[in-house]
A and B are shown apart, each in its own frame.
Chain A
């Protein structure tokens, strides 16, 4: 029994172009540019340097923090540099990448299969993180985080996402047709990790061969292959869960809270490669299609430049004018062919004006609410558009802007050709920036208030000390005044306070002397300073910090110079 999610559209599929050719292994590119951050979450920390020789599968950067995943060398070779390079990010800003020149030998680092059933769950999850396994459905959320289930939660349903609803993309289709048995082995590992009552694999009905292959591979197991109707965006996590189980994942909540765990079939395959072969995530299947000579799927090493990959597919046809990384609905439009493919890249579409004509100019919203009819998140895109346009972000949040999955269905049906999703992205990032600023302001306020408090406290302490000193002086005076009254001999009066004073002076002097001696002794005792006994690692870190400082200094000088020039 299948359910429906709200809305959805039927864009032209364009899948046959690439789905009927078997996938091929892409040849080694001339160089590999491996970005150090290919997942959602905390940055990684590079553990190689320029000039290092690396082996295939060797770790290049280790995960730093819980929501982070390691990055590995896709092939053996020499590290040319660890520095900024353009990466597939909508900002176009460069990020840290390791550039590797392959030596062509493809020499593997030592690796062995894991006996996962003999392993505690936590250890297996740590292995996933160490192997850089992230969700290959598009969001690249670290898989070990997704599978970390606290004991209070039980997973009723494990959902495997093989819907692949976006036009042009056929990687999951080819993967399921060609490597169904391996995927099923990966699913078994997932089942061991989350221990679900039932396991459902959702595949859209436009992939009959994939469905048949998966059905065959699943015989004898209790994994159910379920054919779902073709409708964009069935492949959305919350949408597929709704279709398969009827459960609605509430706003701001993860599927685990309703007892469902959802992973992509390609992620299951990657887990199989790790557990049964010991291979970290260094390659993935990518569809190269659009305006190319032979549209096809390739097993591609992460870090392969887009341009070289397009060349493997016979090269771009004349009239091509850029690339889409991902699908046409949600993908990233880029013009730089030097960008590397990353773990998130499932498809490269070579654009041409013929295939993707530039959209007509946007016209005003006529409130036809066609976008409402198709929105799979059941939002009111026309209202959100209105609020984002007038930068009324509070109201946009009230209308659940953050439930928008940016699927682009509203853009597709809008008769006024309004780039609705662009407005939503703009509003989302503005809201995030404001929250960052707010947090910074709150922290600054707290620090400022603490500083005022500290100054006040210091003042008070000083006053107290002063008061005590005065009191002591007064007491001494009083004692001196009392002394002559009791003692009748005036000759003895004069030396008494003087003697007391000098005695007190002597005591302080000797105390100071003692302290100086003590300090000297300590200095003599510790011949070695701790700065003299540094490990090579610490020395390397210091050198790195010095280099960074030099960089910043340069920037600062440049800035100062600019300012002077302006003046």
Chain B
């Protein structure tokens, strides 16, 4: 009887120690699901979902507060990927969500810019170079096309320019069943 008690409590102590140790040693920082969702989101940081950036939206999806169909820049494919990840059904874009657009970058008309820095403060990815009372300009390669800089501009000098297709960004089309597929 005593031996059994000793053995059982011995096992309990050892297992408890192991569990306690691993709880400290292998503690997971944050919610790993948020990371996975964030990896799917396009990182435009545009706030069209109603959250202040992609990560807050990812957190909202992870806690089931937000729907998965609120990210226009991610497109329908983004919804599909999120549905796959979360084991949900695909949902088309809601009526209150903007329609997806072609990728564009902001452009500052440098003749009109007064150097107020309002757009710099609005840019979520620091893609605008400039200083107070100095002309500003967009670093096109870093611009995500979120349009957050368009509204704050007091002189309306920012417009969105759709990116033209180049030989580098061009893609082969889905084949159609005749010779045209290989032409042009």
Contact = CB atoms under 8 A, between A and B. Distances in A.
A451 B110 CA distance: 24
A553 B109 contact: yes
Interface string B142-170: 10100000000000000111100111011
Contact of A422 (B43, B162, B166, B172): B172
A359 B165 CA distance: 30
A426 B182 CA distance: 11
B42 interface: yes
Interface stretch (A74-82, A87-95, A120-128): A87-95
B177 A361 contact: yes
A429 B170 CA distance: 8
B142 A447 contact: yes
A444 B45 contact: yes
B181 to A, nearest CB: 5
Given A433-B169, A444-B45, A448-B45, A423 B175 contact: yes
Interface in A312-366: 322, 332-335, 358-359, 361-362
A559 B159 contact: yes
B179 A428 contact: no
B135 to A, nearest CB: 11
Q: Give the interface SS of chain A, mostly helix, strand, loop or mixed.
A: helix
A441 B171 contact: no
A91 B178 contact: no
Range of interface residues on A (Cβ < 8 Å): 35 or more
Contacts of A555: 161
Contacts of B167: 87, 89, 91, 93, 95
A419 B183 CA distance: 13
Interface stretch (B10-18, B26-34, B91-99, B123-131): B123-131
Interface string A526-567: 000000000000000000000001001101110110000000
Given A91-B167, A358-B179, A426 B124 contact: no
Contact of B125 (A92, A419, A451): A451
A131 B181 CA distance: 36
Nearest to B170: A91
Interface in A429-450: 429-430, 432-433, 436-437, 440-445, 447-448, 450
Given A91-B167, A559-B161, A443 B142 contact: yes
A95 B164 CA distance: 13
Interface residues of B, number: 39
A425 B111 CA distance: 44
Nearest to B127: A447
Contacts of A445: 38, 43, 54
Nearest to B140: A552
A419 B172 contact: no
Nearest to B121: A455
Contacts of B110: 549
A359 B179 contact: yes
B125 A444 contact: yes
A93 B126 CA distance: 32
A127 to B, nearest CB: 28
Contacts of A358: 178-179
A362 B45 contact: no
Given A445-B38, A445-B54, A553-B109, A333 B43 contact: no
A426 B125 contact: no
Given A444-B44, A444-B45, A444-B144, A426 B173 contact: yes
B172 A334 contact: no
Interface in B110-143: 110-111, 124-127, 142
Contact of B161 (A335, A419, A441, A552): A552
B152 to A, nearest CB: 16
Nearest to B139: A447
A426 B172 contact: yes
Interface string A398-423: 00000000000000000000010011
A333 B171 contact: no
A503 to B, nearest CB: 33
Contacts of B175: 419, 422-423, 426
Nearest to B41: A441
B107 interface: yes
Nearest to A331: B182
B25 interface: no
The 3 tightest CB contacts between A and B, nearest first, are: A422-B175, A91-B170, A444-B43
10 contacts: A333-B183, A359-B178, A361-B178, A419-B182, A429-B170, A447-B142, A552-B107, A553-B109, A556-B161, A559-B162
